[in-house]
Amino acid sequence: MVSLADKIVLAYSGGLDTSVSIKWLQDKFMADVITVTVDVGQREDFGEIGKRAKEIGAIKHYLIDAKEEFVMNYVSPSIKANALYEGKYPLVSALSRPLIASKLVEVAKKEEALAVAHGCTGKGNDQVRFEVTIKSLSPKMKVIAPVREWGLSRDQEIDYAKEQGIKIEPKKSIFSIDQNLWGRSIESGPLEDPEIEPPLEAFEWVKPLEKAPEKAVYVNIGFEGGVPVSVDNEKKGAIEIISYLNKVAGKHGVGIIDHMEDRLVGIKSREVYECPAALCLIEAHKDLEKLVLNRHELFFKDIVDANWTWLAYSGLWLDPLRKDLEAFINSTQERVEGSVKIKLYKGNYRVVGRSSPYSLYDPNLATYSILSEFDQASAQGFIELWGLPTRVAHSMLSKLKKGRE
């Protein structure tokens, strides 16, 4: 148990859950609370968040700018791994959680705190991501989940806030929002009914198709070592590229994901996301890989990518297997260099051109012209040997079937 005068470090978003958690932790454990907000590009008023934490009772507040670290160490590897959980979700929140958890541990060690706390419920994936990472980095660190342990509804939390004199900020939306540079997650409200189309007010980054430009636009994305380094032939940093594509692709109605997701805890959940840059970059990267990697590499990389994505989604970021898989992934990325042209129009994003100094495409072999270097006469022998196992098996099974009739 946490005892008198101990310090607890709380991951603080400024919302209702984490705000009432400050008072709850103080009351239950008679401990000093230190709040931590990690900036991963969520576009919040961080000054107001810090002020609010101290007004409620936090003895100290940390604001940590981790945008560069987030993109370099979490988003970039996910691009290399073509990470789309269940073929849809670009791991928006999943990628940020181990980073935030690591910052909580850093602050806790610096402040000599005996516990860290987070605002996750018992139904979601984030509780797993936070706690597995925290316990891996600091096995003796106590982890507290006030919302999960308390078990209060939102109305009960509001009543508690009023009792404690906590100023309740008017809810900006009927939806529960989590966002960072890589995307925007939208939950709750009418979205809990999987039959209902998401209302337009759910979206901020992606224009409705009816309001998207009538003229298509093309973007050229340059890659080196499997990561984006330029857009429209202009060198830019990764954060700039992601921000630019979120704006441009979103303007053209690209980036909405609406799917039934299997959460780690076993719940099937309707999830809605806005991820314009993520979808474009992963599509472009995967297409470039098809140009420069051979059939065997691509086949095996699909398996590796799926396992990397599963580890990241499931809160196992620090599992040794992730680094083992990345050793293979990074080896393949040495040749993933070149440019990919994407056409954006009315919600559609499509690769329409690609080039690379490491291209395996040989027009002299692929052309249907009579001048092709491919010796078509060799195809007959290839077909004979390629189909041999199938012909032998089919012949045997046909005889067996006739014998039984």
Taking only the tens of pLDDT, the chain with its 405 residues reads 445 458 999 999 988 889 999 999 999 999 999 999 999 999 899 999 999 999 999 999 999 999 999 999 999 999 999 999 999 999 999 999 999 999 999 999 999 999 999 998 888 899 999 999 999 999 999 999 998 988 777 778 888 888 888 887 766 678 889 999 999 999 988 999 999 999 999 999 999 999 999 999 999 999 999 999 999 999 999 999 999 999 999 999 999 999 999 999 899 999 999 999 999 999 999 999 999 999 999 999 999 999 999 999 999 999 999 999 999 999 999 999 999 999 999 999 999 999 999 999 988 776 666 666 767 788 888 889 899 999 999 999 998 888 887
Picking from 274, 275, 305, 279, the residue whose alpha carbon sits closest to that of residue 221 is: 279
pLDDT of residue 2: 47
> Which residues does the annotation mark as catalytic?
17, 97, 126, 176
> By the 8 A CB rule, do 8 and 144 touch?
yes
**For residue 363, what pLDDT is reported?**
81
Domains along the chain with CATH numbers: 7-172 (3.40.50.620), 177-355 (3.90.1260.10)
CA atoms within 13 A on the CB side of 252: 24
pLDDT at 69: 98
